[in-house]
A and B are shown apart, each in its own frame.
Chain A
Amino acid sequence: MSSSDSFPLQLDIDSDTLASCVACGMCLPHCPTYRVTGEESASPRGRIAMMRDAAERGEADAAFVEFMDACIQCRGCETACPAGVHYGHMMEATREALASQTSYQPRLRRLAYRALGMPRLLGFGSRLLGLSQRLGLIRLLSLLGRARPFRQLGAMTASLPRVPVRQAPLTASGDDVWLFTGCVMDAWMRDTHRAVQAVIEATGAGVALPPAEATCCGSLHLHAGLASDTRRLAHRVMAALPGEAPILIDSAGCGATMKEYGHLLGTEEAHQFAGRVQDVHEWLAERIDDLPEGAATSPDADGPSASDAMASDATPRERVAVQDPCHLRHVQQAHLPVRAVLGRYVEIAELDDEGLCCGAGGAYSQQHPEVAGAVRERKLAAIERTGVSVVASANPGCTLHLRAVGLDVRHPLEIVAEHLDGGTQA
């Protein structure tokens, strides 16, 4: 039986890579889409088997595209894989083949991705969006817009978070480190950058801010199969952030992609650049003693010993649940530094779900709201089991996805910054 809708497809993945999965299945419980569907086609083991199948046949069909598109690309399977299979790169190569050889990414979507690399347009669009949200125009658009582009635009924008109309600019304070500010995050969540900058400065370092050319890392493009756009943006970002200074990232998705510029571009320059990229928590954890003490942990010189203080008086430390963004935990393996930094100021409540994805996945939650919502339900249950109401998340996508159901989600360094403020005022 051969499907009636099959089409030719050349997958550029070598046979050693395709053979590297022994199909043991250890990845299945760590895959968010398998977890909510129980379907082999929604598992990493299944997707690799289908890639192998498509590569051997030289063709694919609509179902194959749907199966590949349903992956959140969290890469939780890579951490679980005893064989060290590079699933993420295989999925990126598959989507690149689909995007370049088929109509996998429709024109409107390609344009939307492209806009991320245009800071003025993005800023203008965001203000327009913010205004429209406040004036109720989005609802109107989805209600009245009958023509297809309007309907699509209405659907795309209806589930977006409320974005700011006006934001104060950031001010550079030196040249010890770059703080990469990104595209959507700078347009919608600049206050997070402001808090991150304050924490970096609390170590005594001066912060340089990137010029407008270094606006987008290309992460979303990469995940959509538009790797050539990512490479173009990577060149731009690299040229805009010269020198030796570390490049600090406060968005897990951006950090993961920028650390892979070497793999993406294959040049010595790109490898060197990638070596400078650090998640901001990694950088801070190495300088933890330069940060002020957390108020509740500093023992009173004349008072009882610290352990007595813990046992008796002292207001209990604030408890915060840490949600590990997948691209921090599974791709960068930089989730422990978050605990080192945040744990200096608050008590950390661990989730018991072994870092299972929350369902955000960059643009995924916009494109697959149903699956993303079901995956989020599991995360909400894990958060609820901690009994804690404040959640720390070091990635804008996760933050927005979890805030959308009313959770109090903040960047870990926003929480740290509040404690630093409290310390100076006291």
Chain B
Amino acid sequence: MISEDDAADAALLADLRGVLGDRARDNDFERGLYSRDGSIEGSPPAIVCLPESAAEVARIVRVCRRHSRPFLARGSGTGLAGGAVPVGRPVVIATAKMDRIIEVDIDNRVAWVEPGVLNLDLSRALTPQGFHFAPDPSSQQVCSIGGNIANNSGGPHCLAYGVTTAHIAALEVVLPSGDTAILGGVEAEPAGFDLRGLFVGSEGTMGIATKAAVRLTPNAPAVRTLLLDFDDVSEGSAAVSAIIAAGLVPSALEMMDKRAIEIVEAFAHAGYPTGAAAVLLVELDGLPGGVDAGVEIVREVALKHHVGHVRVAADDEERALLWKGRKNAFGAVARIKPDYYLHDTVVPRSKLTEVLEKVYRIADAYGLIAVNVFHAGDGNLHPILAFDRREPGVDERVKAAGRDIVAASIEAGGVLSGEHGIGLEKRDYMGMLFSAHDMYTQDVVRETFDPDGLANPLKIIPTGSRCSDSFHQHVPEGAWV
């Protein structure tokens, strides 16, 4: 018996094969691979498309429209909020093959790149010219520029340099209509609404970026990296605020708690002080005299907060090793439990201690292990709940703990997400922060781009924000934790 769904999929596949040949895939095993991103659960798409050009992306979108089939873009699949998780048997458009750096324009300090270029590859390619791409998510060795754009990604060094949107000059996008448009501009800001600004962070709900003009940031002439350890988490948190209050804006100001230090050291062997309650990783960049003066200010502030040791990385190698530890912290959680659920909320810096204590209490209450490693400088918390999905009932506990953490952050005057996006994960929490009217307005903006609701539907904006629209499908059970 061939079901209606199967027949629809077969017709869709035939048309997509017409565009892509054997780069349109429907093998069970392969579809399974695109059923989730770096978040926890998902469901397989109907078909996986592996385009090699912007023109192919536009043709895929037009085929999807003809079949009234939802579609969503996927970069490297490292997103943590379920933004690239298929819902409702969509077509996944994986942009990983579109990985060319098209043009580096030093005069204008921009580079035109395809969405599948990996973040760190871009910065490495720019090294000989003395530039880099500033946003540096922990996953920067693998995450793609397209994914950075979709999520308006941050990273440790965004404290001083700003998140992705500050580094995108212009975009070529395939709109949900299948038409191609250029948003923003390389030279002057074009007249009219800042549609580029609207698109960055829209998680694929307004179309698919097929080229980006990224801004190039000059590499700093001098960099100093300090590692400070504390016997007490609250002293560490207080030092964070005090460093900023002293007038410094470090290029990065990161914090790790005891468990994070242990797992990171087990992987990186960077000399992180296992046994300390918390460490701060502080980076200063600029002119040599300036950074050296900054080091002394950080040292003074840290001493006032009873720092154990102040270690200044001696060279680039030591610096790289410390960052290797920090940037692999999430994956290293597997040393405690095979699964993790990584949160992303922002709280006022002054409330760090208070919210961290709540996070530990919440995790304890649900019998989970909490690991904290986060961008302390901008109050961006990343509590990680480590668990084993094979334990019965654990999914519900993780989900409930996650909700409590979000509520605690908002109660402290914080927001839902710092940099991972809303995706599926936080969609139903939007109401904690936004009024019905706010969400309605956001939905109207979205509908302007995508009247048929085919572009990564059921993400960001909760169902029921509009009285009548196409958002009546429900998220399948277990689509995320």
Mark contacts of B42-65 with chain A using CB atoms, 8 A cut-off: 1 yes-contact digit, 0 otherwise: 000000001000000000000000
Q: Are A39 and B29 in contact (CB under 8 A)?
A: no
How far apart sit A46 and B340, CA to CA, in the bound complex (Å)? 18
Shortest CB distance B145–A (Å): 14
Shortest CB distance A3–B (Å): 6
Shortest CB distance A78–B (Å): 12
Return the chain B residue nearest A3 by Cβ: B28
Return the chain B residue nearest A64 by Cβ: B29
- Between B120, B334, B389, the greatest number of chain A beta carbons within 10 A of the residue's beta carbon is seen for B334
Q: Are B338 and A22 in contact (CB under 8 A)?
A: yes
How far apart sit A114 and B124, CA to CA, in the bound complex (Å)? 45
Interface check A388, CB cutoff 8 A: no
Interface check B267, CB cutoff 8 A: yes
Shortest CB distance B117–A (Å): 11
Mark contacts of A84-120 with chain B using CB atoms, 8 A cut-off: 1 yes-contact digit, 0 otherwise: 1100000000000000000000000000000000000
Q: Which of A19, A28, A37, A82 contacts B332 (CB 8 A)?
A: A82
Q: Are B33 and A26 in contact (CB under 8 A)?
A: no
Residues of the B chain whose Cβ atoms lie less than 8 Å from the Cβ of A22: 330-331, 333-334, 338-340
Q: Are A19 and B94 in contact (CB under 8 A)?
A: no
Shortest CB distance B32–A (Å): 5
Q: Are B33 and A21 in contact (CB under 8 A)?
A: no
Shortest CB distance B451–A (Å): 31
Stretch of A49-57, A238-246, A257-265 with 4 or more beta carbons under 8 angstroms from chain B: A49-57
How far apart sit A108 and B77, CA to CA, in the bound complex (Å)? 40
Given the interface contacts A23-B36, A53-B32, does A3 sit within 8 Å of B27 by beta carbon? yes
Interface residues of A in 19-57 (CB under 8 A from B): 19-26, 28-29, 37-41, 46, 49-50, 53-54
Interface check B34, CB cutoff 8 A: yes
Interface check A83, CB cutoff 8 A: yes
Residues of the A chain whose Cβ atoms lie less than 8 Å from the Cβ of B99: 38
Interface residues of B in 241-259 (CB under 8 A from A): none
Interface check A2, CB cutoff 8 A: yes
Given the interface contacts A29-B142, A81-B331, does A1 sit within 8 Å of B96 by beta carbon? no
Q: Are B78 and A85 in contact (CB under 8 A)?
A: no
Residues of the A chain whose Cβ atoms lie less than 8 Å from the Cβ of B335: 83-84
Residues of the B chain whose Cβ atoms lie less than 8 Å from the Cβ of A83: 331-335
Given the interface contacts A3-B28, A29-B118, does A39 sit within 8 Å of B96 by beta carbon? yes
Q: Are B33 and A46 in contact (CB under 8 A)?
A: yes
Interface check B139, CB cutoff 8 A: yes
Residues of the B chain whose Cβ atoms lie less than 8 Å from the Cβ of A26: 139, 141-142, 328, 331
How far apart sit A84 and B328, CA to CA, in the bound complex (Å)? 11
How far apart sit A21 and B38, CA to CA, in the bound complex (Å)? 11
Interface check A67, CB cutoff 8 A: yes
Q: Are B390 and A19 in contact (CB under 8 A)?
A: yes
Return the chain A residue nearest B40 by Cβ: A23
Q: Are B33 and A61 in contact (CB under 8 A)?
A: no
Size band of the interface chain B makes with A: 35 or more
How far apart sit A53 and B267, CA to CA, in the bound complex (Å)? 28
How far apart sit A352 and B332, CA to CA, in the bound complex (Å)? 25
Given the interface contacts A21-B334, A25-B142, does A63 sit within 8 Å of B116 by beta carbon? no
How far apart sit A40 and B78, CA to CA, in the bound complex (Å)? 12
Shortest CB distance A330–B (Å): 15
Shortest CB distance A76–B (Å): 13
Interface check B388, CB cutoff 8 A: yes
Interface check B9, CB cutoff 8 A: yes
Return the chain B residue nearest A57 by Cβ: B28
Shortest CB distance B437–A (Å): 38
Residues of the B chain whose Cβ atoms lie less than 8 Å from the Cβ of A63: 27, 29-30
Interface check B452, CB cutoff 8 A: no
Other than the known A22-B330, A24-B331, A83-B334, what 8 A-B pairs have Cβ atoms closer than 8 Å? Answer: A1-B28, A24-B78, A37-B97, A38-B94, A50-B32, A82-B330, A82-B331, A83-B335
Q: Which 7 A-B pairs have the closest CB atoms?
A: A83-B334, A82-B331, A38-B96, A82-B328, A24-B331, A82-B332, A19-B338
Which A residues lie at the B interface, using CB under 8 A? Answer: 1-3, 15-16, 19-26, 28-29, 37-41, 46, 49-50, 53-54, 60-61, 63-64, 67, 81-85, 352
Which B residues lie at the A interface, using CB under 8 A? Answer: 6, 9, 26-30, 32-34, 36, 38, 50, 76-78, 94, 96-97, 99, 116, 118, 120-121, 124, 139, 141-143, 267, 328-335, 338-340, 388-390
30 A-B residue pairs with Cβ-Cβ distance under 8 Å, sorted by A, are A1-B26, A3-B27, A20-B334, A20-B338, A21-B334, A23-B36, A23-B38, A24-B38, A24-B330, A25-B77, A25-B142, A26-B141, A28-B76, A38-B97, A38-B116, A39-B50, A39-B97, A40-B33, A40-B96, A41-B29, A41-B30, A41-B33, A50-B32, A61-B29, A81-B331, A82-B334, A83-B331, A84-B334, A84-B335, A85-B334
